[in-house]
Amino acid sequence: KQEVTQIPAALSVPEGENLVLNCSFTDSAIYNLQWFRQDPGKGLTSLLLIQSSQREQTSGRLNASLDKSSGRSTLYIAASQPGDSATYLCAVNIGDMRFGAGTRLTVKP
Amino acid sequence: NAGVTQTPKFRILKIGQSMTLQCAQDMNHNYMYWYRQDPGMGLKLIYYSVGAGITDKGEVPNGYNVSRSTTEDFPLRLELAAPSQTSVYFCASSYGQGVPKNIQYFGAGTRLSVL
For residue range B25-83, list pLDDT tens digits in order.
Answer: 999 999 999 999 998 888 999 999 999 999 999 989 999 999 999 999 999 999 899 99
Q: Which of A79-83, A92-96, B35-39 has the highest mean pLDDT?
A: A79-83
B102 phi/psi in degrees, rounded to 5? -90, 15
The nearest alpha carbon in chain A to B105 belongs to A45
Contact B69, B75 (CB under 8 A): no
Region A8-26 average pLDDT: 96
What amino acid is encoded at B64 in this protein? Answer: Y
Residues in B lying within 8 Å of A, measured between beta carbons: 4, 33, 35, 40-45, 48, 58-59, 90, 92, 97, 99-100, 102-109
How far B59 CA sits from the closest chain A CA (Å)? 9
Q: How far off is chain A from B107, nearest CA to CA, in Å?
A: 5
Confidence of residue B97 (pLDDT cuts 50, 70, 90): low
Instruction: Measure the CA–CA gap between B31 and A18, rounded to whole angstroms.
Output: 36
User: What is the rounded average pLDDT for all residues in chain A?
Assistant: 93
Q: Would the pLDDT of B100 be above 60?
A: no
Please tell me the predicted confidence (pLDDT) of residue B1. 65
Res. B99 pLDDT band, cuts 50 70 90:
low
Beta-strand runs (E) in chain A? 4-7, 10-14, 19-25, 32-38, 44-51, 56-59, 62-67, 72-77, 86-93, 97-99, 103-108
Across A10-35, average pLDDT: 95
**pLDDT score for B56:** 93
Those residues with Cβ within 8 angstroms of residue B69's Cβ, 6 or more apart along the chain or in another chain:
B52, B53
